[in-house]
Structure 1
Amino acid sequence: MSQSVFFCCVALGLVLVVQNASAHGSVGLDEDLCLIKIGYLTAHFKIYLPRTRQREEFCEDVPDAAETVFVMEYLHSSLGEMPIDFRIIRDVTGLGRFVKWADVASIQALDGATVFYQPAVIEPDVFSIVQQFDEPGWYVGIVTALPQDTDKIYTAVFPFKVGFTGFGYWPFFIGLMILIQLQYWYLNGSFTRWREWRNKRSSVVPEL
């Protein structure tokens, strides 16, 4: 495999990592609009911290361990006709942002990991819950919609971090930019010329 092909493969892999890391399960940004997907159904998703961040909106992670309001504004009217429950658990899987529904379904003591549970209820247009977080860390939100005319169950799973202080996704993007620059230098011959200059310089014997 040539080095140029290697660089392209690594760059593509890094892009895929960034894309996977930037989506928290069923919650993500779509044209600057935060959406939650419950099966094929969608809702506008908002997180508020009224005591610490006033009216500021958040989409995925929660910056402070404080009173937190989760809001879903239905974009599919049929959600307003379904019983919907909302559960928050501590992330006992250790998978962080990569938790999926299969991981949640395999938890044997789900009630023991639960920090909040809203039993199924029908809300016409907007569904909201309030949870007081006292400890920072990884949590998982689980939303279940139960259509009344079918046996199907629609679910949404979104891992999120409370009290996050990290750099977000900037290290991924910076790494990608560095890799692209290195590839450019390699393809235009800069590395070859630099090596030739180093070899020529090291071969010069200083005069005494």
Structure 2
Amino acid sequence: GIAAWLLAMVLSASAAHAHGGVGMQDNRCVLRIGPDLMFFTGYQPQNSRDEFCDDIPNTGQTVVVLDMQNTELRDMQTEIRIIKDEGNHTTMNGLPFLTDAELGSPQVLDPVTITHVLPRTYPTGTLNFEHTFPETGKFIGIVTVKNAHGQTYVSQFPFSVGKGFGKNIGIYVSMVVVLFAAVFMLWHLGRKQKLGAPKKPA
């Protein structure tokens, strides 16, 4: 019915704003890396303990925790890099995306890297790191895992700092459009039913 259609459209509008390798699954924020998953939790202790999934609401100290959901990840070397997005990368579905050549080039990565967690294993399956963002802007997180056989998986997730409203406005606009479409459809169906109803004899 109309309600199911409306719900599907709203969910589709929200999903369109998922950021690269980071998205929602069963009300949890997850980072997809190859065939595996990590739970992603971010918060800013100086502002509140409210968690965020992708975009960082404010500048300042930021803590990110990754919980590996697949045991094979614990034996793999995990590396994290955050770079500043200068708007000169290839885009995929409207999001910036580094090519394999860029990912393998220190000449490309090093000048724009703002934090780098060197590769190591995490036997407990939990990885956390902190970074202080002094200014607003757009960034790209890159998580790389590599096993003993040299097999490598990379997950990229673009995000912004201090620009939460700008990100959410697209979702709000999409939802308003969907609501207007639903109201129009209900009005149109009601009008057709009224016009098609048989007239009572005088």
Regarding TM over 0.5, the answer is: yes
Identical counterparts, % of pairs: 26
Match of 2:111 in 1: 112
Alpha-carbon contact 1:97-1:159 (below 8 Å) kept:
no
Q: 1:72 to 1:99 in 2, by over 3 A?
A: same
Rounded Cα–Cα distance in structure 2 between residues aligned with 1:147 and 1:180: 50
Q: 1:16 to 1:32 in 2, by over 3 A?
A: closer
Question: Could you state the TM-score of these two structures normalised by the residue count of structure 2?
Answer: 0.77
Cα-Cα RMSD: 2.9
Q: How many residues of Structure 1 are paired with residues of Structure 2 in the alignment?
A: 179
Rounded Cα–Cα distance in structure 1 between residues aligned with 2:15 and 2:144: 25
Match of 2:147 in 1: 147
The counterpart of 2:68, out of the listed 74, 83, 86, is 74
The counterpart of 2:80, out of the listed 69, 83, 86, is 86
Unpaired segments of 5 or more residues in structure 1?
1-7, 194-208
Listed one character per residue, the Cα deviations across residues 113-156 of structure 1 (whole Å, up to 9, x for unaligned) are 1111111111111111111101112111000000112x321111
**More strand by proportion, 1 or 2?**
2
Letter in 2 for 1:65: T
- Secondary structure of the residue that 1:189 maps to in structure 2? helix
Letter in 1 for 2:29: C
- Secondary structure of the residue that 1:64 maps to in structure 2? coil
Listed one character per residue, the Cα deviations across residues 29-73 of structure 1 (whole Å, up to 9, x for unaligned) are 1111111111111011100211222x3221111111011111101
Alpha-carbon contact 2:58-2:162 (below 8 Å) kept:
yes
Match of 2:38 in 1: 43
The alpha-carbon deviation at position 20 of structure 1 amounts to 1.8
Unpaired segments of 5 or more residues in structure 2?
196-202
Q: 1:181 to 1:104 in 2, by over 3 A?
A: farther
Letter in 1 for 2:96: V
Match of 2:55 in 1: 61
The counterpart of 2:97, out of the listed 93, 100, 108, is 100
Alpha-carbon contact 2:84-2:139 (below 8 Å) kept:
yes
Rounded Cα–Cα distance in structure 2 between residues aligned with 1:104 and 1:132: 29
Letter in 1 for 2:95: F
Query: 2:130 aligned with 1:130, yes or no?
Result: yes
